[in-house]
Structure 1
Amino acid sequence: MKNLSLKQKLTILYTVLMTVNICAVLAVLFSLSNREILSSVQNRLRESVTGAFDDIDWEDGRLDFDSDILELENGVYLSVYDMDGALLYGKIPYGFDQSMDFRDGQVRRQKTGSVEYYVLDMSYAPEENVNLMVRGTISITDAEESFRITLRLALICLPLLVVLTAVLGYFMTRRTLRPVAHITETVLAIREEEDLSRRIGLGEGRDEIYRLASTFDSLLGQIEDSMKREKQFTSDVSHELRTPLSVILMQCDALLARDGLSGEVREEITVIQRKADSLSRMISQLLLLSRADQGREKVTMEILDFTGLSQMAAAEMEGIAAAKGIRLETAISPDIMVRGDETLLIRLWLNLLQNAVTYGKEGGCIHMGLWEDEDMVTGYVEDDGIGISARDLPHIWERFYRADSSRSNNGSSQNNNDSSQDNNSSSGLGLSMVQWIISVHKGTIQAVSEPGRGSRFTFRIPKEKKS
């Protein structure tokens, strides 16, 4: 039952309940009908026997019988006996035991072979000294046969009735649960599209499903307002932090330009400058993502030589990788054209390459590739570094997500969101920005990794056909 849908469960429950009710009603009806049939047979028997009195006359010292006694009216056999048990007139069923004694006014059952009869004896005196016994006999078996035919017909029709009940129950349940399916589809669409502005919108209604939909819409409205406030707060904070960071960087430049600074002081100022510069880049990325969330980030789409952009990004990162003893190998196909934003596509490569350099193995190698097929352009960056654990891999696209083991220099898991060029720190925004850039270009990206053996990021975006 756990694997069945609610619609199927309700249909089964409805069918079982209806079937039980139908069987119970039929059992009661047939029980009452059987009694009614037997009572009706006895009434017919009494009417026929008492009616036979009118067909017996006493004329000129002898009995005169009407031929109507010989007719099987209502299936009743009528026979007239004297008080000694001798048959005077009438008709009896074939094979009926005539030795049965007489009991005035009593309806009795008598079975002869496979046939069962009702027998009624009633005394009648056409004259003062003439006493007769009129016996009526009617077959119970014949009367019950029609009942059994009806019962068999009902048993034949019962499966059809059950099937009809199941079909009607299914359509009724499906119609009743249609709003639930609409709620589920809408919630799934909201999750996939990440569009909190959508609503279920079932309309007016008083039942539980409509109230549930209204509650969902109200909850979505609150979540949307909360997300808007959070995005606005992030944007405002990023704006406010840029000014003091700019001042810090300017003061660091001014201090480093002075003569007479000791080596220790100059080194400390350089550390401050490097950290402030890293923080400034992180805030720039955060501000860009915040504007993208609010739909305010301007994206300029144009036809670009993606091969050239990729080679430029590789050349820029080659020196940074070499400083860590990492070799950068490229396999970039020529003349690949795409429609995209030049700045964002360069940032895409730089973020992926910087991530690989930061968590690559010293003395190791980074592979960068780009090629095209019929409709898509495929690019990848692969390193042989510390890798990402299976537990952390689903979360690498989340902003500020930091794998616990990556926070230490001796960790075995890759920090998954680093776009900073400061190898000793990470902003946790790099891969979030990569994912957003890919979505803007209507592409897909996936990551595969194995701890201790490195990671591979592969993206696909639509290509632009050469004119």
Structure 2
Amino acid sequence: MLISDGFMYVEFRRTLLDQVDSALEVTAIQALKNIDDEVDVLTFDPREDSPVLTSLLDEAGVSVDLLDQNGVINQRLGDSLTFPLQAQLSPGFKTIINADERWRVYILEILPRDNRPAGWLRVAHSLQSVDTTLRDLLKHHLFEIPLILGMVGLGGLFLANRALKPIGQITEMAERVRISGDLTQRIRYQGVTDELERLANMFDTMLDSLQATFEREKRFTADASHELRTPLTAIKGRLHVTLSQQRTAENYAETLQAIEQEVDRLIRLSSDLLLLSQLEQHHLALNLELIDLSDLLAAIAEQVQPLAELHHLKFSTHIASNLYIQGSPDHLIRLFLNLLDNAIKYAANDGQVTLTALSGDRSIQVMVSDTGIGIPPEHVSHLFERFYRVEKSRSRAIGGTGLGLAIAQEIVHRHHGAIAIQSGLGHGTTVTVTLPSQ
């Protein structure tokens, strides 16, 4: 506003001065025409109506002087505005100050003509009216500044309060969540599409993620407690039954063997939990190295072949050669043994398990397929969750801990790859692991 008003003030002052200069120039031309050419002294033609002209010049605040070559005044019109002019004579416009009053002066050189000698024509106009107008304009602008600033301040306060309202909602909601611990609360901002809407939506999304994380952790804690309690309860029950009365040596041996099985299950569960925690928190170094995945998969297939024959399954491999990746051999062996073990466990009797490895566009795909009964579609998206089982009782019967696929997913992610499951009831299951190739 200051820059705009300053520019308007300067332009308005220039316009007023241009108008004064134009009036002085017109007056000078008219006065030059009224000079008497028939005498040898610079003077105005007495035949012109000098009193009327002088009165008009007085009203206009204009003074017209005829000066000789030395600057001596020969004649003056509008003498009520007379003032001493000591400035050096030179053609053109100039502004001078006399008696605290500004004057605009236009000097025109008079050339000799016939009997008329050379000299100077000086036309002066008081700038009092111009200065008064400029002062009034300046006062108007000075009065306008606090008024507009007040309006802008009130408008800014209104807009700021309105714009920052979502921030207040976020703060209040965050405080409620902190006090109550209820992660189901949301802002649900409804307003204009701007950065604050993005902030509010992002906050809601963050709360969704936190709620899902906490629910997953609560479910994990409950599942882990249940998984640990089951074998411990079995051990406690067998001990109680065995100690309730005298038993034979064969009965004690049978009880100890059953307890050993439950302890082995607890050890597997504890080991899997520790490994999964280390993988998720990146506390376990993978020590990646360049390995030939073709040879690794072939060696794993040799280990799995007897297990497949034990379950009366046909086990076949289709492994391309020269499949090189950067990986950890120990973790990759655990990954593919886990997937093949699952395929063999859940394949139908006299079914088939297939291990396929192909080279793709800057990636390697390893697929483990079985001809089992398949998995219902509603369960497929949950298979990588910890302790998730499609048939819990059946899974425990075959010795699973419910952590195998969660560990497999973490191993694949640590190798910058992806893992996916395709399955359908009656169509078997295919697990596809995609790893970056070298």
Query: How does the TM-score come out when normalised to structure 1?
Result: 0.42
Query: How does the TM-score come out when normalised to structure 2?
Result: 0.45
